[in-house]
Amino acid sequence: MTDLSDIKMPTYQLTQDVLNVSVSCFKNYETPANPVTINLLTWIRSEKHRPKIEALRLVDDKVLRDSIKATLPAITPSGVFTYRKESDLVPGSHTRLIQFDIDLADNRQIRNYASLKLQISKLPFVAYCGLSASGKGYWGLVPIAYPERHGQHFDRLKRVFAHYGIHIDTKPRNVASLRGYSYDPAPYQSDKVMLFEWHDLPKPQSHPTWSNSAVQSRLKGLYEDELQNRLIRFTQAAGEGQRHETLLKAATVAGGYIGAGRLDEQTAIYALETVASGWPTFTKSQKTIRDGIRYGMTKPIYLGT
């Protein structure tokens, strides 16, 4: 069982510092050689090719739009390269950033797609989010803890977005993936951003006796009751000056259990809100519960951990 007292709190960084890094810039999408090194913040804020982007967004034909887009300069947000190939990353130059790319074609199930940038801005690990070149998609940047685990970080990030019903392009799993020039009159850039420390590892093998679905269901119910009661007892034991911190820890652990499929989200929220309902500033406690659960879900707690 996870020790509630040892829960690690998230690490926040100044976004300005996170984005103030060097990247490679290529002449266009079709030119993988002879890059120049530029500053990422300068690139994000540049309006040099704005007229071309605004003209491109008036083109309805996707084939024509893509051909115009291919002539724009492009960068590799995750590092500096001598040639646009994963093996040609300059040693030590990884920016500790992963980009994400969201296309309309892959997310037509999202009803409020036009306001998706606003929703993404609520994710604490998103440093930047803006419109794609076509104006029909979104792209953004997330700081990661371990550059050497770039692909594993991306796999976890992909699952986190999927939890919110958002499908992201898989190309940025490659550290040499490109980001063409774009312009957004109102991009999102946070003041501080949470370091995305999680990365996928092989899941532990399930116990062989759990092959029977009825047995699995019964065991899951027993585990849920045990976990729920443990969270309630831990939260109830909080001293008057420790309630917020204790509630955040309990909610974070609950999120870990939820992310691993060991606890129902609404059950956990109800249990923690029941305890907190007798405290002052209940509305603040409700936000703490949801923030903790959201954070914890990015770091599932599987059996045996």
* Residues 219 and 272 placed together within one structural domain of the fold: yes
Answer yes or no: is 5 within a domain.
Answer: no
Distances (CA, A) of 176 to 95, 223, 246: 12, 43, 42
pTM of the model: 0.67
Neighbours of 72 (CB within 10 A): 17
Q: Determine the structural domain holding residue 153 and report its residue range.
A: 12-194
Residue that finishes a domain, picked among 194, 222, 241: 194
Residue with tokens 């956990």: 268
pLDDT value of residue 28: 94
Answer yes or no: is 206 within a domain.
Answer: no
Tens-digit pLDDT string for the chain (305 aa):
455 555 557 889 999 999 999 999 999 999 999 999 999 999 999 999 999 999 999 998 888 988 888 999 999 999 999 999 999 999 999 999 999 999 999 999 999 999 999 999 999 999 999 999 999 999 999 999 999 999 999 999 999 999 889 999 999 999 999 999 999 999 999 999 999 998 887 444 444 443 334 434 443 444 566 777 788 888 888 887 888 888 998 899 888 888 877 787 877 887 888 788 778 777 888 889 988 898 988 888 876 55
pLDDT value of residue 212: 38
Instruction: Please check whether residue 302 is in contact with residue 260, taking contact to mean a CB–CB distance below 8 angstroms.
Output: yes
pLDDT value of residue 167: 96
* Residues 168 and 222 placed together within one structural domain of the fold: no
* Residues 289 and 257 placed together within one structural domain of the fold: yes
* Residues 183 and 259 placed together within one structural domain of the fold: no
pLDDT value of residue 234: 85
Answer yes or no: is 204 within a domain.
Answer: no
Instruction: Please check whether residue 118 is in contact with residue 131, taking contact to mean a CB–CB distance below 8 angstroms.
Output: no
* Residues 129 and 252 placed together within one structural domain of the fold: no
Whole-number Å distance between alpha carbons of 284 and 274: 14
Q: Where are the beta strands (DSSP E) in the chain?
A: 12-14, 22-26, 36-39, 74-76, 97-102, 128-131, 138-143, 179-180, 188-189, 192-194
Residue that finishes a domain, picked among 144, 160, 194: 194
Domains identified in the chain, total number: 2
Retrieve residue 40's tokens: 């990422």
Residue that finishes a domain, picked among 135, 160, 194: 194
pLDDT value of residue 57: 93
Answer yes or no: is 7 within a domain.
Answer: no
Amino acid present at 63:
V
In 3D space, the residue among 149, 150, 131 whose CA is nearest the CA of residue 140 turns out to be: 131
Return the H-helix or E-strand segment holding 100. strand 97-102
* Residues 135 and 18 placed together within one structural domain of the fold: yes
pLDDT value of residue 266: 78
Answer yes or no: is 49 within a domain.
Answer: yes
* Residues 99 and 219 placed together within one structural domain of the fold: no
Residue with tokens 């204790």: 246
Answer yes or no: is 133 within a domain.
Answer: yes
* Residues 230 and 270 placed together within one structural domain of the fold: yes
* Residues 169 and 100 placed together within one structural domain of the fold: yes
Answer yes or no: is 137 within a domain.
Answer: yes
Return the H-helix or E-strand segment holding 245. helix 243-259
* Residues 65 and 146 placed together within one structural domain of the fold: yes
In 3D space, the residue among 134, 132, 130 whose CA is nearest the CA of residue 64 turns out to be: 134
pLDDT value of residue 180: 95
* Residues 152 and 272 placed together within one structural domain of the fold: no
Answer yes or no: is 201 within a domain.
Answer: no
* Residues 49 and 156 placed together within one structural domain of the fold: yes
